[in-house]
Every structure is written in structure tokens, then in C-alpha cells.
Amino acid sequence: MTEIVAFDDIKDTRRIRREMPDGHLYNTSFIDHSKEHMGAPNVFMIESSENRILDTHFHDVDQFQIVVGGGGKLGKHTLAPYSVHFARAFTPYGPLVSGPGPGVAYVTLRARACPTGGAQRLPAHREKLEKMTGRQPWQVTGVPRFVAPGADGVGMRLIDGLKDDKGLAGYALSMNPGAKTLGPDTAVGDGQYVVVLKGSLIHEGVEKKGITVIHLDPKDGAFPIVAGPQGLQGLVLNFPHPTPQVKTEAKPAAGAHDKLWQCELCAFSYDEAAGLPEEGIAPGTPWAEVPHDFICPDCSATKADFIHLDL
């Protein structure tokens, strides 16, 4: 069932979720039917005060997160509006560090509510990951590029990295005032969100200003998007079909020609041929010469948490 919720409609529900010595979190719930059934969609916005640290953690379901204000760091990735992060179920990521000034605000979107509720932090919950026999961790952080609308008043561009053969996709959408378009097919994955970030859309004669969240079930079909009088800038996010949790065990190192090392916790890979120039590690640097204090850019695991992949 299609559900449309604008921040203006629910801003009075904004509440302090946590007050601590290092700051606070505000929580605003857009969509939450978890008390009715756990398979329901779930959307909420977190506003975290400056310089707060949310430790590396994971969830039991796939999720998107969109930075809608402020900035900070996720692992070693710089966050700014409108960075998009997708994490598959049971994939650790973080820490999430709120930047200075306003801190960071982000919207979390799930096709299905998380049965365990909040973040499962590491190292406290590491044993749970280690005992799982069917975990397939994967994540990506992308920055949408909003292209100028074409002759039809619409511009849509795939967000780099947000695409797979299971239905995962993310699009940056720009529309001129009054322009109309149909969203992507909802049947290819496990549900879809259309998120209005700037401007507004018109639905059934009513203007819905950003931030507005539209949830679509796979059976709902393509959503008719009509831009408001100031135009529209937003995102269209498709959830993939749930990934069968069938773990592939890594094989022991077999020879010097195999030069790929992978984080056991989040599946980030270090390719000796490519190195990590952004981390000061030149292409061609053997794993043995990577500094001992190296940490995973995605989940902050240590070098000891990497295993050699036999290709």
C-alpha cells in the first residue's frame, strides 16, 4: 500500500531519543507499523548533535540512510547532504561521527522493520556475526549527482555503485516546476521509496514539501511524480530482494599471485594492485607492508580481521 508522509505532517512528534554527556539525539518517526507486524516498512530521521560517536554496529535488515543535514564521517567516508549509504543485513558499518556545528541529520529507510530494534554494536555483538553460517555482508556509500532536467522537465541519474541484479537501485531525480514523470518499476525488488529533499510534489491536489517520504510496495506499480511550483529534487531508492544468507568460506592463501584481502566483518576488500591512495597506501603495496595500525574504511575493523582470498 502506498504511503506518503511529509515532515510538516509529523514534525510535532519529534522527540529527544537520548540525552548523554556528549550530546543528544532527536528522533522523528515518518513511518512505523512495527507494532502491527514486523514485516512493515520503517522510516525515521535522526538528528545528532555535534561530535557524537555512534560505534560500529549492524542491523538484521537491509537499509538505506540519507544525510539530510550537517555532515560527519561514516567509517572513513565523508558525509554531507545528500550522501546515501546502503548496508545489507548483518553488515557492520561505522563508527558514525557527527560533524562540528549542527552535527548530522539522516533519514533511515527500511523495507521491513528491524526485529531487534536498535543498533547491535561491536565488539559486544561480534559473537553473533561469527556464529552465523549464512552471512553475506556488503555495503556502499554513494553521492547522488543531480543532472539538469531535459526537454521533458525531468532529469534522472543512477547513483554510482547503487545497482545490482537483485533489484537494488538508487536514482537522483531533478524536475522542473509542474513536470510529470513515472518512477521506476516497483516490481523489480522488495519495495521502493521516493524521497523529496527539496521543493515539493503534488499528490491528489495537495502540495507535499521536502522532506517527504513515499513508500511503495512491490505490487503498487510505478508512482506518478508531479513536481510542485518550485520544482523537485529527490531520490528514488529500490530495495533488493532479500539476499539468501549462504556464506562462502574463504580459502587459505595459495600463492603469491593472489593479492586480495577481505575484511571478515563487512567484506571490504584490499587489492594490492590498486592500493588505497586516499589512505596514503600506494598501488602495488603488498599486504605485509600495509601499516599494522590500518583499519577498515567501512567498519573500522583491524588489520588482523582481514583474510586472504584465494582467487
> What does the pLDDT read at residue 20?
65
Question: Quick one: 271 and 160 in the same domain?
Answer: no
Question: Quick one: 56 and 183 in the same domain?
Answer: no
Number of domains in the chain: 3
CB 125 within 8 A of CB 151: no
Give the bridge partners for 91, in sequence order: none
Question: Quick one: 126 and 151 in the same domain?
Answer: no
14 lies in a domain? yes
Close Cβ partners of 95 (under 8 Å, ≥ 6 residues apart): 53, 54, 55, 56, 73, 74, 75, 300
247 lies in a domain? no
Q: What CATH number does the domain containing 8 carry?
A: 2.60.120.10
Tell me how far apart the alpha carbons of residues 263 and 269 are, in angstroms, rounded to a whole number: 6
Tell me how far apart the alpha carbons of residues 184 and 234 are, in angstroms, rounded to a whole number: 14
Question: Quick one: 28 and 113 in the same domain?
Answer: yes
Per-10-residue mean pLDDT of the chain, 311 residues long, equals: 94 81 86 80 95 94 97 96 96 96 95 86 94 90 95 97 94 98 95 98 97 96 97 98 59 54 95 94 96 96 92 59
> What does the pLDDT read at residue 94?
97
In a 3-state reduction of DSSP, which class is residue 180?
strand
Tell me whether residue 83 is exposed, middle or buried, using C-beta atoms within 10 angstroms of its C-beta: 0 to 12, 13 to 18, 19 or more: buried
Question: Quick one: 134 and 156 in the same domain?
Answer: no
Q: Which three cell numbers stand for residue 204?
A: 491528489
Cis upstream peptide for 229 (omega within 30°)? no
Question: Quick one: 221 and 281 in the same domain?
Answer: no
In a 3-state reduction of DSSP, which class is residue 53?
strand
Which residue, 93, 126, 141, sits at the end of a domain? 141
Question: Quick one: 136 and 211 in the same domain?
Answer: no
Question: Quick one: 303 and 196 in the same domain?
Answer: no
Which residue, 141, 168, 189, sits at the end of a domain? 141
Q: Which three cell numbers stand for residue 149?
A: 532536467
Angle (nearest 5°) at CA 169 between 296 and 86: 30
11 lies in a domain? yes
Question: Quick one: 225 and 278 in the same domain?
Answer: no
Instruction: Specify the pTM.
Output: 0.91
Question: Quick one: 149 and 195 in the same domain?
Answer: yes
Longest Cα–Cα distance of the chain, Å, equals 66
**What is the residue range of 169's domain?**
145-238
Amino acid at 161: G
Amino acid at 253: A
Question: For residue 224, which phi and psi values (nearest 5 degrees)?
Answer: -75, 115
Question: Quick one: 183 and 288 in the same domain?
Answer: no
